[in-house]
């Protein structure tokens, strides 16, 4: 950046200097040409070769020329007050001087002393510029021609020291140099500060990345950079990525711990039955059949347990696997109730569906079915005498509510806060008899939470339980495209916590 600023300022300085130099040169050249023309107009009236006797009268005023023509002194020095008004006005500029030469290159007239000496070697017409310690000096050399004969009668050299031109350019170059130096220093300083400010968050990100690489279990994160640019967005995205990776690592650990914990019992049971078969089952068909049936039952339970644990793990990756799935509520509710009613013909499942057939929620259809099946299956399992389950579905301005109510055992206040924990069972013995693993409500809670909903329970022992699930309504928003057609834009009505 500093190099860019330096180059731009250098180019700007050169352009400004060139423009000023050109303008000043035009003014200086006009002054020299005007002086030369005035001398030419006077001297061109002389028809013969230029001499002192003819030059001085020609440059004098008309009155003085007529009154003093007989007493003209043969001298090349003439007071400026005796010159014509036009020439006098030109020579008020102290930088300009004029020297008149005859054909033998002898000085005939000189307004001011000059260091330039005209000779045969230096005789060339036109502009010349001579460099010295103070700058440039301009010389204009022209031949004097008579009006009538057009023959050359002498030469004139007009010198312009260009003091104003040199002073302005030297001052301009000086200040341009100072400003360039200051600009370079400021550019370097600003570039250093900007680059340091840009590299600081990059260094922080690199540091965090190295720490996470060395210790994957660390929860170190990039601190808030207080920036609203691409680096701030990158830091935020990096932290979100680390959070997601940490969740996956935790899920993996939890999965391994759960598997090792929950599979210990069925493995032990199967091992016990195999040992029993090894000892007595070979000779006792009854023992053999009982052990085989028990082992098959435990294997089936293990299979169901592993599937539930996989479902629970997948439920924690909803935003990656099913980010844009939408489901019609009424259709799924009706289908689940019909399926369970067919499986449990002894139960009465009462459906109160007030949801419009067009109402949708942002959830994968299979997951919505799974939530309803878990709640209805639990309600059926834990119903004692009254084999009846109620399911109601309704909407308000923002949410869809699904309530599953049973009239079974109920849940004590102590257990109510724990029923959503993994592998928690209120009555472990009875749950085992009914084939439960304590993962169903954990899966339901995880699925509901991942899709932006809420699940709650109200229960009273020996009276029954009521599970309620709320999801925000999904509404497509119509917008007009550039060609005038209407497009649908999704809009999610967020859950309004009460």
Residue boundaries of the structural domains of the chain: 2-172, 322-492
Q: What is the distance between the alpha carbons of residues 247 and 217, in angstroms, rounded to a whole number?
A: 10
**Strand 388-395 to 348-353 pairing:** parallel
Q: What are phi and psi of 474, to 5 degrees?
A: -100, 125
- In DSSP terms, 97 is beta-bridged to 159
Query: What would the pLDDT profile of 444-460 be if each residue is shown by its tens digit?
Result: 888 898 888 999 999 98
Per-residue pLDDT, 88: 64
pLDDT band at 312; cut points 50, 70, 90: low
65, 45 contact by CB (below 8 A): no
Q: What are phi and psi of 424, to 5 degrees?
A: -85, 130
pLDDT band at 61; cut points 50, 70, 90: low
Gyration radius of the chain's alpha carbons: 53
Q: How far apart are the first and last CA of the chain?
A: 55
pLDDT band at 249; cut points 50, 70, 90: confident
Per-residue pLDDT, 78: 45
pLDDT band at 291; cut points 50, 70, 90: confident
pLDDT above 70: residue 216: yes
Which of 201, 102, 199 lies closest to 155 in space, CA to CA? Answer: 102
Q: What is the distance between the alpha carbons of residues 155 and 123, in angstroms, rounded to a whole number?
A: 9
Q: What is the distance between the alpha carbons of residues 113 and 351, in angstroms, rounded to a whole number?
A: 122
Q: For residue 326, give every residue at least 6 positions away whose Cβ sits within 8 Å of its Cβ, in sequence order, or none.
A: 360, 361, 362, 363, 474
- In DSSP terms, 142 is beta-bridged to 156
329, 351 contact by CB (below 8 A): no
pLDDT above 70: residue 194: yes
Assigned token pair, 344: 């449990």
pLDDT above 70: residue 433: no
Question: Per mean pLDDT, which of 43-52, 107-116, 289-298, 451-460 is the most reliable?
Answer: 451-460
Q: Give 278's DSSP letter.
A: I
pLDDT band at 332; cut points 50, 70, 90: very high
Conformational region of residue 425, where left means phi above 0, alpha means psi within -120 to 50, and beta covers everything else: beta
Per-residue pLDDT, 327: 93
Per-residue pLDDT, 53: 87
Protein fold of 322-492: Heat Shock Protein 90 (3.30.565)
pTM exceeds 0.85, yes or no:
no
User: H or E segment at 253?
Assistant: helix 230-262
Q: What is the distance between the alpha carbons of residues 19 and 65, in angstroms, rounded to a whole number?
A: 45
Question: Do the first three CATH levels of 2-172 and 322-492 match, i.e. the same topology?
Answer: no
Query: What would the pLDDT profile of 25-40 be if each residue is shown by its tens digit?
Result: 888 888 888 888 888 8
Long-range contacts of 104-108, Cβ-Cβ distance < 8 Å, separation of 24 or more: 105/155, 107/76, 108/50, 108/51, 108/52, 108/55, 108/76, 108/154
Which whole number is the average pLDDT over 30-54?
87
Q: Tell how far CA 180 is from the center of its chain.
A: 31
- Mean pLDDT across the chain: 79
CATH top-level class for 2-172? Answer: alpha beta
pLDDT above 60: residue 334: yes
Per-residue pLDDT, 290: 82
- In DSSP terms, 107 is beta-bridged to 101
Question: Per mean pLDDT, which of 98-107, 183-192, 229-238, 261-270 is the most reliable?
Answer: 98-107
Query: What would the pLDDT profile of 160-181 be if each residue is shown by its tens digit?
Result: 888 888 888 888 888 888 888 8
pLDDT above 70: residue 1: no
pLDDT above 50: residue 79: no
Per-residue pLDDT, 71: 35
Per-residue pLDDT, 481: 47
Instruction: List the single range of 288-297, 359-368, 445-454, 467-476 with lowest mean pLDDT.
Output: 288-297
pLDDT above 90: residue 403: yes
Per-residue pLDDT, 372: 93
Q: What percent of the chain has pLDDT over 70?
A: 80
Q: What is the distance between the alpha carbons of residues 401 and 148, in angstroms, rounded to a whole number?
A: 118
**Strand 360-361 to 348-353 pairing:** unpaired
Per-residue pLDDT, 472: 94
**Cβ count within 10 A of residue 434:** 13
DSSP per-residue codes, 262-273 = HSHHHHHHHHHH
User: H or E segment at 371?
Assistant: helix 365-381
**Cβ count within 10 A of residue 173:** 13
Per-residue pLDDT, 497: 41
Which whole number is the average pLDDT over 186-198?
82
Query: What would the pLDDT profile of 111-140 be if each residue is shown by its tens digit?
Result: 888 878 788 877 888 888 887 777 888 889
DSSP per-residue codes, 300-367 = HHHHHHHHHHHHHHHHTTHHHH-SS--EEHHHHHHHHHHHHHHH-TTSEEEEEE---TT-EESS-HHH
pLDDT above 60: residue 103: yes
Question: Per mean pLDDT, which of 89-103, 187-201, 384-398, 472-486 is the most reliable?
Answer: 384-398
Per-residue pLDDT, 170: 86
Q: What is the distance between the alpha carbons of residues 126 and 438, in angstroms, rounded to a whole number?
A: 109
pLDDT above 60: residue 240: yes
Long-range contacts of 202-211, Cβ-Cβ distance < 8 Å, separation of 24 or more: 202/231, 204/235, 205/234, 205/235, 205/238, 208/238, 208/242, 209/238
pLDDT above 80: residue 81: no
């Amino acid at each position: 950046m500093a190099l860019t600023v330096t180059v731009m300022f250098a180019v700007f300085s050169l352009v400004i200097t060139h423009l000023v130099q050109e303008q000043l040169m035009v003014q200086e050249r006009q002054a020299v040409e005007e002086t030369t023309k005035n001398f030419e107009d006077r001297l061109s009236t002389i028809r013969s070769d230029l001499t002192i006797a003819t030059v001085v009268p020609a440059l004098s005023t008309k009155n003085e020329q007529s009154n003093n023509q007989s007493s003209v002194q043969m001298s090349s020095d003439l007071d400026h007050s005796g010159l014509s008004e036009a020439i006098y006005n030109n020579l008020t500029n102290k930088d300009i001087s004029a020297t008149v030469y005859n054909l033998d290159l002898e000085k005939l007239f000189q307004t001011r002393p000059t260091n330039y000496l005209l000779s045969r070697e230096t005789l060339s017409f036109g502009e010349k510029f001579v460099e010295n310690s103070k700058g440039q000096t301009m010389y204009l050399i022209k031949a004097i021609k008579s009006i009538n004969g057009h023959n050359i009668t002498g030469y004139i050299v007009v010198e312009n020291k260009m003091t104003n031109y040199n002073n302005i350019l030297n001052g301009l170059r000086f200040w341009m140099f100072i400003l360039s130096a200051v600009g370079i220093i400021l550019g370097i300083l600003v570039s250093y500060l900007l680059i340091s400010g840009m590299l600081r968050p990059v260094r922080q990100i690199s540091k965090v990345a190295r720490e996470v690489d060395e210790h994957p279990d660390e929860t170190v994160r990039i601190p808030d950079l207080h920036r609203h640019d691409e680096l701030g967005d990158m830091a935020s995205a990096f932290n979100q990525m680390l959070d997601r990776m940490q969740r996956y690592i935790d899920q993996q650990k939890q999965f391994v711990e759960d598997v090792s914990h929950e599979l210990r019992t069925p493995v032990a049971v199967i091992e016990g039955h195999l040992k029993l078969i090894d000892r007595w089952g070979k000779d006792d068909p009854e023992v053999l059949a009982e052990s085989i049936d028990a082992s098959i039952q435990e294997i089936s339970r293990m299979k169901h347990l592993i599937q539930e644990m996989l479902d629970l793990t997948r439920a924690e990756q909803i935003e990656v696997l099913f980010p844009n799935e939408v489901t019609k509520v009424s259709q799924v509710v009706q289908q689940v109730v019909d399926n369970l009613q067919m499986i449990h013909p002894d139960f009465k499942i009462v459906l109160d569906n007030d949801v419009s057939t067009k109402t949708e929620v942002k959830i994968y259809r299979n997951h919505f079915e799974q939530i309803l099946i878990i709640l209805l299956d639990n309600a059926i399992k834990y119903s004692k005498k009254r084999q009846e389950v109620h399911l109601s579905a309704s909407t308000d301005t923002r949410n869809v509510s699904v309530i599953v109510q049973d009239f079974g055992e109920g849940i004590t206040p102590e257990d109510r806060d724990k029923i959503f924990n993994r592998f928690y069972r209120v009555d472990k013995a009875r749950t085992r008899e009914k084939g439960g693993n304590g993962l169903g409500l954990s899966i339901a809670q995880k699925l509901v939470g991942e899709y932006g909903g809420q699940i709650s329970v109200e229960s009273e022992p020996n009276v029954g339980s009521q599970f309620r699930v709320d999801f925000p309504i999904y509404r497509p928003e119509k917008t007009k495209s550039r060609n005038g057609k209407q497009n649908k834009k999704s809009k999610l009505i967020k859950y309004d916590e009460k």
